[in-house]
Amino acid sequence: MKLLTGNDLPTGDVVWWTGNGWSRHVEDAVDVGVSGESILQAEEGARRVNVPYLIEATQTDEGPRPAHIKDRIRALGPTMRPDLTLKPADPNAGSWVI
């Protein structure tokens, strides 16, 4: 599957395309399939999100899992500071990333 991601313009937060908007949670991301490039162009034109780009991912029981470690770290947060991640209370969150 393909996901569309970028950084929210005012906050810089990592965001994922949900089909009708942007979410901070990769679990909400949808497969953009062959439409990815056109959504990217439209969203970049709307200037809501910084440097959007398309990535490869796989569907898992926990939701979409980005193929590259860099995007998995983006999806959760720094691996050595669980308190700064999106799931500070989940002790297993880091294992999903690495």
Footprint of other proteins (CB under 8 A): 7, 9-14, 47, 50-51, 67-70, 73-74, 77-81, 84
CA–CA dist 12, 51 (Å, integer): 11
Helical ranges in the chain per DSSP H: 36-46, 69-76, 93-97
- Closer by beta carbon to other proteins, 38 or else 50: 50
Smallest gap from residue 68 Cβ to other proteins (A): 6
CB of 51 to other proteins, least distance (A): 6
> For residues 79 and 97, what is the distance between their CA atoms, to the nearest angstrom?
8
CB of 62 to other proteins, least distance (A): 19
CB 83 within 8 A of CB 91: no
Closer to other proteins by Cβ: residue 24 or 90: 24
Which CB, 30 or 86, lies closer to other proteins?
86
Distance CA 43, CA 31 (A): 16
